[in-house]
Amino acid sequence: MNGVLIIDKSKDITSRDVVNTVVKKFNTKKVGHTGTLDPIATGVLVVCVGSATKLVDELTCNDKEYIASVELGTLTDTLDNTGKTLKEEECIKTKEEIIEVLNSFKGKYLQEVPIYSAVKINGKKLYEYARENIEIELPKREVEITDIELIRDIEYHNNKTLFKFKCSVSKGTYIRSLIRDIAMKLNTIGIMTDLRRTRQGKFKIEDSVNLDNISENNLINIIDILDYKKIELTSNVEKKVLNGAVIDNIYSSDEVLFIRNNEAIALYKKYEKDDKKLKPYKMFKGGR
């Protein structure tokens, strides 16, 4: 049983919970997800099953799209509404102010990783430092915001400003941190109150399925996931490919997916030592 599931993760469960459910449902231990969603978040969680688990790293590299809800005027230790409140203040911002700041985030910038995250420093996860009240310098990473826009009129409640935005971002972007940075640029504080991932790479929320309803029919064939030149495995190279050998590149492409009987066998890419040859990159059947 091999393929990819597009799960619409519900709130208040972890990405690991989703994996555990798929393990039990399909009676296989070869299951992995391609990008953690916090318990507060819902939406697209791409889960690989069987030999498709070899694609986890590749699929994790895709860009993502989110819809996020924001409350300006509140700050918590987790940067969302599940944490301990650290500070509150009156905050009334106009639609024009918010749009101007949102637009200013398009492009690349250095983003500080939130303390409540699983990023490791000296072999220890950041949230473990937070729980032990140990101060540590938070790492910064370059992220890219390719698109960001306000998607509904702002609201005011208890002297706080509430709004919702949609964004497309690179791998490794923390939306909680983005909201913190947006608030800082607005000269205030802010938290995330809701988050929904609507796309990861080519996988869209409209193509997802609820975890309670998953079945083998929901598995997407590896062949339909990979956008590489597809070559039917023939007898003249079958033995070499199945054994993971370097082969001559006679296919006019630097990336080739060998298939047989509508099943992925091996993904080959250009051999860096000889550009006239291809070497195995991912083996789904046979050798390595």
Q: Please say if 80 is a catalytic residue.
A: no
User: Both tokens of residue 99?
Assistant: 């749009």
DSSP-derived secondary structure for the chain: --EEEEEEEPTT--HHHHHHHHHHHHT-S-EEESS---TTEEEEEEEEEGGGGGGHHHHHTS-EEEEEEEEETEEETTSBTTS-EEEE------HHHHHHHHHHT-EEEEEEPPSSS--EETTEEHHHHHHTT---PPPEEEEEEEEEEE-S--EEETTEEEEEEEEEE-TT--HHHHHHHHHHHTTS-EEEEEEEEEEETTEEGGG-EEGGG--GGGPBPHHHH--SEEEE--HHHHHHHHTT--EE--SS-SEEEEEETTEEEEEEEEETTEEEEEEEEEESSS--
Question: Counting beta carbons within 10 angstroms of the beta carbon of residue 39, is it exposed (0 to 12), middle (13 to 18) or buried (19 or more)?
Answer: middle
Catalytic residue among 8, 38, 80, 181: 38
Main-chain phi, psi angles of 21, to 5 degrees: -65, -40
Q: Residue 158 and residue 63: Cα distance in Å, rounded?
A: 36
Closest alpha carbon to 3 in 21, 24, 20, 26:
26
Residue positions annotated with a catalytic role: 38
